[in-house]
Amino acid sequence: MANEALRRRRDAQRWTQAQVAERVCAQVQAATGRDPELDANWVSRLERGAITWPSGEYRAALCVVFQVANEAELGLYPKGSAAPEERPAAETPPDDVRSLAADTELSARLTRHAAETNVNALVLEEFDADVERLARDFVSRPLSLLVPEIRTARTEVFRLLEGRQQPSQTRHLYVVAGWLSGLAAHVSLDLGDRSAAATHARTVVQCAEISEHSPLRAWARSFQSLAAYWAGDYRRAGDLAQAGQSEGRGPGTGTIKARLLSLEARARAAEGDNRSALRILALAQEARGAAGPDELPGVFSFPEAKQWTYAGTTLLAVGGDEQIRHAISASDRAVELYQAGPEGERSPGDLQAAHLDLATAYLASGEVEGAAAKLSEVFTAEGYTASITIRLRNLAALLGSEPYRGAQSAVSLRAHIHEVTVRPALASNPTESR
């Protein structure tokens, strides 16, 4: 006996049999993680009555797709029982019973609506694994390989967010979207596109607000502080780093507080507030001692070597013979830690930044040859991030000032810096902007 109830409901939606099959497959896959590979022929067999009682997961999926309370409304019934049209008509219930039934149907519809989801635990787990892998690989893998992967993952997450999930799943997807947008922001800043980096960073902030995820929000502020620093807006860089320490429920228990304090110290020193810079730098060291494990590795963590690099830059900006000596010690410690670490976790850009700080410190001490030795460690790279290029040009400007301007060694170093900084923007060896 043909299933006219199912056919009528399909016609009312103006769906083809193939479209019904696609929707049922999607629902089953979201609920079970398995692709049933149903097609139009399967729906045709249902409508012809060749199948009257499909498996439980298919019946549940059909009820969700057509938004009905039970299988009977779709003309489905177990073998051996009477078809819905053959069952004796029930007596018309009284008004109060019909009202109660209507209220019950509303609750059933809400239950079905709440249960609808286009993701499951396995999908979320896979996204988490992708974010962790990309964050770790970002430190040392070529950008040309990572950028397509980051874009593909972001596109898929955004597509899922346009659908329907349970509230906890939606929050989880926004956290994933936030971290992936953070990677996109770093790509843009490394390539010198500050406008694109700012757009991506605002997306990270929005995702953090929606998901109420404190570590993501704090990291977003650290990135905005970083971008402001390299744009030369040191006061804003310091204020953003400070805001990241206090917004929401705080920055979290990982190394993010040490990162934010280190960023603030560097920014305060750059704007000339040396007393605050040294005080905050000491707080950053205390935060390092109290830090717990980070939620994510790689570019989203703040290794000890990076903190020593930031300390060296801060102390150089403070200036004075004593602080320059401390800056040399801090940068030497950063280089030592980077070179001793696993190759896959070694950031070329971080190492370059430490060498450039050492070169600057030696130059400030009048040791041009010492500066040249440290610069030679940087000149071998095939390309640089935007921030390393800025550091090199600042060093060239220093070499062009008194008392170095006329020295032949200084002239040669300036020419070499000019040669390496006119290369195309970095496209093969990514690193976090310094």
Q: Predicted confidence band at 142 (pLDDT cuts at 50, 70, 90)? A: confident
268 compared with 423, residue with greater pLDDT:
268
pLDDT single digits (tens) 189-218? 988 899 999 999 999 999 999 999 999 999
CB of 392 closer than 8 Å to CB of 374? no
Location of structure tokens 């029930």 = 90
Which pLDDT belongs to residue 423? Answer: 62
CA atoms of 347 and 141, how far apart (whole Å): 10
Q: Could you tell me where the DSSP H helices lie in 191-296?
A: 194-211, 214-230, 234-246, 256-270, 274-290
pLDDT at residue 227 tops 90: yes
CA atoms of 221 and 201, how far apart (whole Å): 8
pLDDT single digits (tens) 365-422? 888 889 999 999 999 888 788 888 999 999 999 888 888 887 888 889 999 999 888 8
431 contacts: CB under 8 Å, gap ≥ 6: 139, 190, 347, 348, 349, 350, 352, 385
Report which residue type is found at 19: Q
Q: Which region holds residue 427: left if phi is over 0, alpha if psi is between -120 and 50, else beta?
A: alpha
Q: Is the pTM of this model over 0.75?
A: no
Q: Which whole-number Å values give the CA distances from 274 to 107, 152, 269, 434, in the listed order? A: 64, 45, 5, 20
**φ/ψ of residue 77, rounded to 5:** -155, 155
pLDDT single digits (tens) 87-102? 454 455 566 655 665 5
Question: Strand, helix or coil at 223?
Answer: helix
Reference 147, options 207, 190, 204; nearest CA is: 190
pLDDT at residue 231 tops 50: yes
Which pLDDT belongs to residue 343? Answer: 75
CB of 163 closer than 8 Å to CB of 118? yes
| Average pLDDT along the chain | 87
pLDDT at residue 115 tops 50: yes
CB of 221 closer than 8 Å to CB of 240? yes
Query: To 5 degrees, how large is the angle CA 312–CA 316–CA 320?
Result: 130
pLDDT at residue 20 tops 70: yes
Which pLDDT belongs to residue 1? Answer: 79
